[in-house]
Structure 1
Amino acid sequence: MSNAQIPLQAPFSSARLHVITLGALGVVFGDIGTSPLYALKESFSPEHGIPFSSNAVMGIISMLFWAIMIVVTLKYIYLVMRADNNGEGGVLALMALALRTAKSGSPWAKWLMMLGVFGACMFYGDVVITPAISVLSAVEGLGIATPKLANFIIPLTVAIIIMLFLIQRHGTSIVGKLFGPVMLVWFVSLGLLGAYNIAKAPEILAAVNPYYAIQFVIEHAQLAFVVLGSVVLVLTGVEALYADMGHFGVRPIRFAWLYTVMPSLMLCYFGQGANLIINPAAVSNPFYLMVPDALLLPMVILSTFATVIASQAVISGAFSLTSQAILLGFVPRMRILHTSEDERGQIYVPVINWMLMVLVVAVVLAFKKSDNLAAAYGVAVTATMLITTMLLAVVMRTLWKWHPLVVAVIIGAIFLIDFGFFAANLMKIPDGGWFTILLGVITFFLLITWYSGRMLLRERSQDEGIPLEPFIDGLLAHPPHRVDGTAVFLTGNVATVPVAMLHNLKHNRILHKRVFFLKISIWDIPFVDDNKRLTLKELGGEVYLLRAAFGFKEAPDVNTVMNLTNAQFGHEFDLMDTSFFLARDTIVPSNLPGMWLWREKLFAWMYANGAKPSDFFHIPINRVVELGTKVEI
């Protein structure tokens, strides 16, 4: 059984639980696990104008502590992770859950859809910023360990990032085995460093008391609001806890967080605070300046490995999210390569990989310092957190049927916290926050344009289409010449005759002895059981209507459909005697009712440059017959 198929509440043995927990350390917690490199440093940024004092240290450490406890532990670990779509998590899975009780096509359904899609788009902003800020903040330790190497920080960062993207095509199956152990060493190191520094100033432990956070907010009301925008950096990667739920299950993720990750992070943050009380000059880089000199260079190397792993996790997440978005109809078809024969969740999307590489390198060269990137980071994280809360409210009320008062109290409290973080980060827009907003808005616009264009295309085909069953009845009453073999016509609408068949009859004047109209659908669940995947209806004269369903985390594959049809219905397929007919539409923008003309031109360009259906559905290229047609929208 692959990781992606592990049920949420699987009765793990103790040994199995520890093995899966180790895997979760390497995949799920890389992003949030590397936040100590820059979170506290940014909270004390000189630009905030916070007067440095022991009370300020206590207040900010208290804010960090309670942000982690409330948002990560209470909201995500114990509440959000209850919302699973057949074991899968993430903002698109949560959107699919929220849409289940909404009437299709209603304004409410469209609003929920747009909310979920925008959350996914903001995740792409996170994917661009994470490798840049993580690797850059790790390599910046060189400037402290060996000041003479300060000029090599940016070139080395760019080299590491390019190398990271170059190895993506080989998959993570081999290096993935190293992720867990390296991250375990990383978290243990964080905890030991933190404990070492806490021993020097144990009074920092009093910051567990929320009084210090409240006092700091009261005494520095305006500054505290600004600091909130930096405190949120301790929450980076929190969406990964939910998004990767299907790979490992709830229990291993909770186990890893409660017994390894959270204690290590808390010790590290408190240790940084203790060191600041003793040595205020360490505020320039609280993480590296709490490390003993003898361990500084090894820690720079370890942190670089950890940040590469954190970057790998979000890049893999971008590939998975793109695959889901393609199958849900929000992104044009792209070439998707499966990099592992055992793990179906391990995929590689070349177009996304190279686009991300260019963007990440450009971000490093443009922002130059992790301090500058921190300003751009928080907006994407807090926007996604806020959207998750809103979609969760819908699921709690409509799907779980919780009492409205309970939903209002819980969601109201969480929303207030999330909105506070989001509002604080809006102040960062002039300093770099504009970048993730711009990236998210552009991506959102492209996704919605593609979705709207597909809906227009479907409407045109329905309006102009010929009803299928009456047409087949008439065709069989007066059949053309029938030839040996099997014809499979891929169709997006089972109610009308595929354009490819009309062209074939018009130009070739033949009908194969066995004909299948194949409709491949994507359901709003991650995976579909094989025994529920196919339905077959005979229309007479060895003409069949075949429907195949796939989940939004599966790869639609015609070969799978053919094999299952043989196993379940006894229809054997000889590929050398089977032809697959596809319609290759050419989109013609027009002044017909629909989108603005320039958006229609954009959709037409996206449609023309998408992957061919034959490649996407893994149809043998030498068995494909493509027939072109023009469609006005």
Structure 2
Amino acid sequence: MSSHKNLHKLSAGGLLISLGIIYGDIGTSPLYVFKAIVGDGIITTDLILGGLSCIFWTLTLQTTIKYVIITLRADNKGEGGIFSLFSLVRRRAKWLVVPAMIGGAALLADGMITPPITVSSAIEGLRVFYPNLTTVPIVIAIISGLFLIQQFGTSFVGKAFGPLMFVWFSMMAVLGSVYIFQFPEILKAVNPYYAYHILATNPSALFILGAVFLCTTGAEALYSDLGHCGRSNIRISWIFVKSCLLLNYFGQGVWLWQHQGSPLGLDNPFFSLMPEWFLIFGICIATTAAIIASQAMIAGSFTLISEAVRMNLWPKVKINYPSNQKGQLYVPSINILLWVGCIIVVLIFRESRNMEGAYGLAINLTFLMTTILVAVFLKRKKVPTYLVVLFVSIYGVIELVFLVGNMAKFLHGGWFTLVLASILLSVMWAWSSARRIKNRYVRFVEIEDYFPIMSELSDDESVPKYASQLVYLTSANFISEIESKIMYSILQKQPKRADVYWLVHVDVMDEPFTKEYKVEFLIPNKLIRIDFKLGFRVEQQINVLFRTVVEELVHKGEIDITSKYDSLRKHKIVGDFRFIVLEKVLSRANTLRFIERVIMDYYFILKKFSLSEERGFGLDASFVTIERVPLIVSVPENSELTRISYPETIES
């Protein structure tokens, strides 16, 4: 824990880690932003000054003010990201789950486009030497290698990320500065008039806006990685990063100034800044930075999914922890999903210039959703209403204008991102909606009413013993209640005699790392309830947690788990434990509305691909019994029957 706190203090190490983890995405944007702004058009004074002015003010308003100054305040016990933000405000209103899900789905879709566009942009630099080079196989090989190493944990690579990104940013600053010294007048582009002028007069203003937006796409990663680096380190390192980015952009502006009146063609202003002798080194450094940017995006996607699983916004999936480093996790299913997505992007679009249209639209949606959630957070923090309204007005307008600009790219690849984000959103929506539908049909009964019969059953030797210790997972939030299905399972569906019945309840807390439990002896030595309070970043290994609590209770002499069988008790053998998991199935005779039936059908399809309940809760399969229970025990409305009597047989 102390090392975690140290990381959040301002330190040289923390600043270096920030460079390596956070700025990959935003730091590699100079590879393609100006190329996208100029596009197939002719290089003009307006385009250069207007483009630079737009980049300067976008980085200032979006990244610096919105994210670095305002959004980083919304930390959840040191953790950031759209789901951490949602967990801070979800008690305010139920509908806030919608922006959280849209933002999360869009961020995941973006994770499939970041590696292809950054790696392609870097590798295309080789065309200076080999004009007809086909980059697709090289890009696919690099991306595949990157996804392959995820399973081993990336902490060993991570240590080198900081120094490598420092080299990258320093290189960009030096390359840009050399050109700015040749033509310092380029700095007048800081004047916002040039941004206004180009957007008001250029017929391709929407396309330019969509291209400019690419310079800020990594801003969301700044906030998502708050837990890895700490607010102070991010804020201070951003000063260095922003300076390097702007120096490079303005340097590219000078190079373009020297080539006015001609089309850009296959030239990339970024690589054109490099002297010929340095090009091969520059391309290697750019490729390394692109891989680091992709790595940061993949790691961010793993964290995002693990949070979504805990919050019941995504099917339970296997999550591995390849190293002891905090926050290091690996989600095999998402690794495959992202890898396939990246390969499809490369095969469909082939060139980085074709990917520019697909990139940006998804992250634009995440920006908008973050604005909504931050506004609710500021309101909760009792920030004056007029300031909250000002925040929403300014960023709502900026991001909606960008959205219109990005929608102009819809036919040029934007459709792909929206399709991707929609599929991911549908999974989140179906999973959380199905949970609400299921909860509507869960019937709770007063547990006290069953105390006498459970005590009697436990002592009734005419019923064969089912297990010494019988454990049920319950969703009842109050200790006075229990699901009727659990009582049905114990008393009627093959009566289950046990020495001790355990009820285990898990509450996912809004804080990230809470680990607490409470024990309630409902019937002394017969019925015990354990309530776990676990943060949304804590792995729900119920088997391990339950065993830890039982050992502690035995150690304190609060319970005795020695077997009651005479032969085993004599030798102080511990009794057996058995978990019962009740799996809900949809009966044919259900009264669901059509849309609910569709959601439940989709949910059960997703369930086939997700982890089973026992594996999701980390239970040992050899101690688990699965019981299938109908979700809804209801009688269809038209089920009335009329009894008819047979006519009496007439004796002959």
TM-score by length of 1: 0.91
What residue number does 1:237 align with? 218
What residue number does 1:320 align with? 303
What residue number does 2:584 align with? 585
Matched, 1:309 2:309: no
| C-alpha distance 552-233 of structure 1, shift in aligned 2 (>3 A) | same
| C-alpha distance 484-355 of structure 1, shift in aligned 2 (>3 A) | closer
Q: Which amino acid aligns with 1:516?
A: W
Q: Secondary structure at the match of 1:521?
A: strand
Report how far residue 505 of structure 1 moved: 4.7
Tell whether the 8 Å contact from 1:490 to 1:498 is kept in structure 2 after alignment.
Answer: no
Give the alignment partner of residue 560 of structure 1, picking from 526, 545, 561: 545
Structure 1 stretch displaced more, 126-135 or 283-292 = 283-292
Tell whether the 8 Å contact from 1:500 to 1:581 is kept in structure 2 after alignment.
Answer: no
Matched, 1:546 2:525: no
Give the alignment partner of residue 446 of structure 2, picking from 457, 467, 490: 467
What residue number does 2:385 align with? 404
Q: Secondary structure at the match of 1:492?
A: coil
| C-alpha distance 568-389 of structure 1, shift in aligned 2 (>3 A) | farther
Structure 1 stretch displaced more, 192-201 or 119-128 = 192-201
Q: Distance in 1 between matches of 2:304 and 2:316?
A: 13
Q: Distance in 2 between matches of 1:566 and 1:459?
A: 36
Report how far residue 564 of structure 1 moved: 4.2
What residue number does 2:122 align with? 138
Aligned length: 606
What residue number does 2:474 align with? 491
| C-alpha distance 209-602 of structure 1, shift in aligned 2 (>3 A) | same
* Higher Cα Rg, which structure: 2
| C-alpha distance 289-173 of structure 1, shift in aligned 2 (>3 A) | same
Q: Distance in 2 between matches of 1:610 and 1:484?
A: 29
What residue number does 2:318 align with? 335
Q: Secondary structure at the match of 2:156?
A: coil
Q: Secondary structure at the match of 1:444?
A: helix
Q: Which amino acid aligns with 1:70?
A: L
Structure 1 unmatched runs, 5+? 103-108
Residues 87-125 of structure 1: CA distance to partner in whole angstroms, max 9, x if unpaired?
Answer: 2211112222222233xxxxxx2x211111111111111
Q: Which of the two has greater helix per residue?
A: 1
Tell whether the 8 Å contact from 1:6 to 1:248 is kept in structure 2 after alignment.
Answer: no
What residue number does 1:72 align with? 63
Matched, 1:352 2:346: no
Report how far residue 298 of structure 1 moved: 1.3
What residue number does 2:509 align with? 523
Report how far residue 341 of structure 1 moved: 2.1
Tell whether the 8 Å contact from 1:190 to 1:268 is kept in structure 2 after alignment.
Answer: yes
What residue number does 1:125 align with? 109
What residue number does 1:627 align with? 627
TM-score by length of 2: 0.88
Q: Secondary structure at the match of 2:78?
A: coil
Listed as ranges, the matches of 1:390-401 within 5 Å are: 390-397=372-379, 399-401=380-382
What residue number does 1:433 align with? 414
What residue number does 1:297 align with? 280
Runs of 4+ off more than 6 Å = 572-576
Q: Distance in 1 between matches of 2:583 and 2:368?
A: 41
| C-alpha distance 56-484 of structure 1, shift in aligned 2 (>3 A) | closer
Residues 536-590 of structure 1: CA distance to partner in whole angstroms, max 9, x if unpaired?
Answer: 2111142111110111111112213432454478357798732222223334466
Q: Secondary structure at the match of 1:160?
A: helix
Percent of pairs with identical residues: 32
Q: Which amino acid aligns with 2:179?
A: N
| C-alpha distance 628-372 of structure 1, shift in aligned 2 (>3 A) | same
Q: Distance in 1 between matches of 2:391 and 2:524?
A: 60
| C-alpha distance 625-364 of structure 1, shift in aligned 2 (>3 A) | same
| C-alpha distance 256-589 of structure 1, shift in aligned 2 (>3 A) | farther
Listed as ranges, the matches of 1:54-133 within 5 Å are: 54-102=45-93, 109=94, 111-133=95-117
Structure 2 unmatched runs, 5+? 563-573, 634-652
Report how far residue 255 of structure 1 moved: 1.1
Q: Distance in 1 between matches of 2:288 and 2:156?
A: 15
Q: Distance in 1 between matches of 2:209 and 2:538?
A: 40
Matched, 1:367 2:367: no
Report how far residue 67 of structure 1 moved: 0.8
Residues 221-273 of structure 1: CA distance to partner in whole angstroms, max 9, x if unpaired?
Answer: x4333311100000011101111112211000111111x21111111101111
Matched, 1:267 2:247: yes
Q: Distance in 2 between matches of 1:487 and 1:272?
A: 70
Listed as ranges, the matches of 1:532-543 within 5 Å are: 533-542=516-525, 543=527
Matched, 1:445 2:426: yes
What residue number does 2:613 align with? 613
Please tell me the root mean square deviation across aligned C-alpha atoms, in Å. 2.3
Q: Secondary structure at the match of 1:337?
A: coil
Report how far residue 394 of structure 1 moved: 1.5
Q: Which amino acid aligns with 1:421?
A: F
What residue number does 2:15 align with? 21
Q: Which amino acid aligns with 1:560?
A: L
Q: Which amino acid aligns with 1:175?
A: V
